[in-house]
Amino acid sequence: MTLIKSISGIRGTIGGKTGDNLTPLDTVKFAAAYGTWLKNNSTNKNLKVAVGRDARISGKMIQELTMNTLTGLGIDVIDLGLSTTPTVEVAVPLENADGGIILTASHNPKQWNALKLLNSKGEFLDGEAGALILEIAESENFDFAEVDDLGTITVIDDYIDRHIEEVLKLKLVDADKVSSAKFKVAVDAVNSTGGIAIPALLNRMGVEVIELYCEPNGHFPHNPEPLKEHLTDICDLMKKEKADLGIVVDPDVDRLAFIDENGEMFGEEYTLVACADYVLSKTPGNTVSNLSSSRALKDITEKHNGEYNASAVGEVNVVQLMKDSNAIIGGEGNGGIIYPEAHYGRDSLVGTALFLTYLAEKKESVSSIRASYPSYYMSKNKIQLTPDLDVDGVLKAVEKRHASEEISNVDGVKIDFPENWVHLRKSNTEPIIRIYTEAKSQQEADELAQKMISEIEQIIA
């Protein structure tokens, strides 16, 4: 059982002992710390926070604890109920809220949950704010409201529909063109809130929808991380139903993966590449992804005469570099699309609408679009950490071994070899070292990963 406190929020497993897991007491303490931070950093005396959750079994309990803690601080709450991460991000500015909380552990299994924290723009908090909230939580220096000053809870239960309306308003989204193409699309939403949002969006765009695991009951039928090895059911369904496209989202709907008409993975890394190709073809500009993302985005950006930049891993880092470089689209190689015309957050609804419009315009199959992009292959591995392991020391030792290569230590250690690369970093959400490699063949990527794992094991030994 685990509790992970970081500048991006608090994440843990349900049950167990306080301080070791995400118990009700830990939830209240962290929600109180966030509410206290808002009160300390706002001139607004009538604070308001939007709160939504994915469909996890623990979600309702965690949401009630969070909302009632905020009202206990004198903060009003907008209860969005079952929602998605991008929906809450959209709701915060539309409701003139001072912040937002999304109750989701993203791609983690069902025993996990988390509080993800937003600012008044509906964007994730920066490191400075996150560190302050951790300090407040540690000190437990909370000042709760007196009875006449308690906050209120207002329920708004149609925000996914409002979010869809905002997506359909985007200039590069053409629902009529998509409807005319008469697409048949299969959706695997891992029995979370994507099962509400994605089919509803597709229906609005005139698409025939085949639903798989779209009941938002929190009982994940497979590992919720949208990787090839977890998606055999929808790949088989694609072939059986002769569908044009498969769409897979994670439990909070900020990661998006496609499957082609042959039941083959489009490649999570290529979700952003394809959407960027479409956006850049209409509105040339710059792009950003993180250091663990494919080189293919750089290739596509330069094809459209734009500039590509790489940030440290983490959505807040990608967003900041997008703002600094005036990027018109960006995101993360895990299938996260950030399109500032909508908002500065990973959004699978936006990515779905852009890709379907592109698909309708190209009048090609999904597999032929994928074949048009440079082929890179990634291997994603991890090493479990022990409490006594000096991870920074391990990474420095790896860096020293490869000092003659092009190295970035903006976030962990990334070694760029002439034909491939490896990125080693501590995870922000799990007690692991992530090992990402990319090469021009899967075998080469896998071999490079195993070589780096062996190196690390030698260093640890």
The residues assigned a catalytic role are: 106
Length of the chain: 461
Q: Which residues contact 285 (CB under 8 A, 6 or more apart)?
A: 306, 326, 327, 328, 329
- Tokens 């597709």 belong to 202
Q: What is the DSSP string of 117-140?
A: EE-TTS-B--HHHHHHHHHHHHHT
Task: State the Cα torsion 434-437-438-443 to the nearest 10°.
Answer: -130
Using DSSP, state whether 400 is helix, strand or coil. helix
Q: What is the DSSP letter of 145?
A: P
Cα–Cα distance for residue pair 360/365, rounded to 1 Å: 9
Using DSSP, state whether 261 is helix, strand or coil. coil
The answer to whether the beta carbons of residues 378 and 448 sit under 8 Å apart is no
Neighbours of 181 (CB within 10 A): 18
Task: State both tokens at 234.
Answer: 């929808």
Q: What is the DSSP string of 322-378?
A: HHHHTEEEEEETTTEEEBTTTBSS--HHHHHHHHHHHHHHHTS-HHHHHHTS---EE
Using DSSP, state whether 168 is helix, strand or coil. helix
Q: Which residues contact 349 (CB under 8 A, 6 or more apart)?
A: 84, 86, 163, 164, 167, 197, 198, 201, 253
The answer to whether the beta carbons of residues 285 and 326 sit under 8 Å apart is yes
Burial class of 9 by CB neighbour count within 10 A (0 to 12, 13 to 18, 19+): buried
Using DSSP, state whether 98 is helix, strand or coil. coil
Q: What is the DSSP letter of 457?
A: H
The answer to whether the beta carbons of residues 98 and 49 sit under 8 Å apart is yes
Q: State the Cα angle at 139 between 92 and 49, rounded to 5°.
A: 10
